[in-house]
């Protein structure tokens, strides 16, 4: 039983345990090219949250990982079989209810550990921060913590790419099809220059952009690359968890 994982903990052990920081991993359930499981983002969220929390716990941080929310925003994938969409307004309602519990029980710091590119919690946290002024609300996407170019041959992908495939080969190799069965993750580019360059934004209609649902070629993925990336991501995140857990919310700026 890991005392910093709520799903494994029991009330006997945690009812008088101090908790300085709650961590809410948030994934998605969606197709990941031909070769990765629908739960890819959930598997990554579970594993990265648990290992980061373990490292933080060993440094004395009183953290608690809540169960991963398995569904994310998939508004651009309405025609892809069983991609389960939660609207952002639904996410905000879920988040509100979780924050209400934490706030009532005096657990005043929350980190949403995001595992899916379609999720975007910033505007929600702005709004919920007004509603719950005693809460310190933070969010972080683990896939933005490191520069992928130093880990992978094809760092430009963003969905079921070499990075995600390497991670799954490290974390759940039995759920990854042989890579010769994967699509090449080729993705079409926007015709509009500003969208193509990324300084303007519109949602991508996924099935028009990629044939295999992947974006980024997964073929160079290896378990070793996944392990190295996983260790560095969780190491870096554990530093954030320690800082947040120990943070005096009345003394935030220097």
CA–CA separation, 35 and 183 (whole Å)? 8
Q: How far is the CB of 239 from Zn ion (least distance, A)?
A: 24
Q: Kindly tell me which of 61 and 73 has the beta carbon lying closer to Zn ion.
A: 73
Q: How far is the CB of 163 from Zn ion (least distance, A)?
A: 9
Q: Kindly tell me which of 21 and 157 has the beta carbon lying closer to Zn ion.
A: 157
Q: Kindly tell me which of 66 and 163 has the beta carbon lying closer to Zn ion.
A: 163
CA–CA separation, 29 and 164 (whole Å)? 14
Sort residue 185 into left (φ over 0), alpha (ψ -120 to 50) or beta: left
Q: How far is the CB of 106 from Zn ion (least distance, A)?
A: 34
Q: Kindly tell me which of 107 and 168 has the beta carbon lying closer to Zn ion.
A: 168
CA–CA separation, 56 and 239 (whole Å)? 7
Q: How far is the CB of 207 from Zn ion (least distance, A)?
A: 16
Element (H, E) at 63: strand 63-65
Q: Kindly tell me which of 19 and 36 has the beta carbon lying closer to Zn ion.
A: 36
CB 88 within 8 A of CB 97: no
Helix (H, G, I), strand (E, B) or coil at 208: helix
CB 135 within 8 A of CB 107: no
CB 182 within 8 A of CB 212: yes
Q: Kindly tell me which of 41 and 83 has the beta carbon lying closer to Zn ion.
A: 41
Q: How far is the CB of 5 from Zn ion (least distance, A)?
A: 22
Q: Kindly tell me which of 36 and 135 has the beta carbon lying closer to Zn ion.
A: 36
Helix (H, G, I), strand (E, B) or coil at 214: coil
Helix (H, G, I), strand (E, B) or coil at 91: helix
Q: How far is the CB of 173 from Zn ion (least distance, A)?
A: 17
The packing angle between helices 223-246 and 40-58, to 10°, is: 50
Q: Give me the phi and psi of 179, to 5 degrees please.
A: -65, -15
Q: How far is the CB of 143 from Zn ion (least distance, A)?
A: 8
Residues at the interface with Zn ion (CB under 5 A): 40-41
CB 87 within 8 A of CB 95: no
Count CA atoms closer than 13 A to 29's CA, side-chain side: 10
């Amino acid at each position: 039983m890991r005392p910093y994982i709520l799903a494994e903990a029991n009330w006997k052990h945690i009812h008088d345990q101090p908790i300085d920081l709650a961590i809410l991993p948030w994934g998605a359930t969606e197709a990941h090219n031909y070769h990765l499981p629908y739960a890819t983002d959930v598997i990554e969220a579970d594993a990265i949250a648990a290992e980061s929390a373990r490292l933080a716990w060993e440094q004395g941080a009183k953290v608690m990982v809540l169960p991963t929310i398995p569904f994310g925003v998939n508004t651009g994938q309405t025609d892809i079989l069983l991609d389960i969409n939660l609207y952002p307004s639904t996410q905000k309602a879920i988040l509100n209810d979780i924050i209400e519990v934490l706030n009532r029980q005096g657990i005043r710091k929350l980190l949403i550990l995001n595992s899916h590119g379609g999720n975007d919690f910033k505007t929600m946290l702005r709004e919920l921060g007004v509603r719950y002024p005693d809460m310190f609300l933070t969010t972080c996407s683990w896939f933005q913590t490191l520069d992928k170019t130093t880990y992978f041959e094809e760092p430009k992908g963003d969905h079921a790419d070499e990075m995600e495939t390497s991670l799954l080969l490290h974390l759940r190799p039995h759920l990854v099809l042989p890579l010769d069965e994967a699509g090449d993750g080729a993705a079409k580019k926007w015709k509009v220059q500003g969208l193509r360059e990324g300084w303007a934004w519109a949602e991508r209609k996924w099935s028009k952009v990629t044939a295999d649902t992947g974006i980024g070629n997964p073929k160079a993925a290896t378990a070793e690359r996944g392990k190295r990336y996983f260790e560095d991501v969780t190491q870096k995140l554990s530093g954030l968890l320690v800082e947040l857990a120990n943070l005096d919310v009345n003394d935030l700026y220097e």
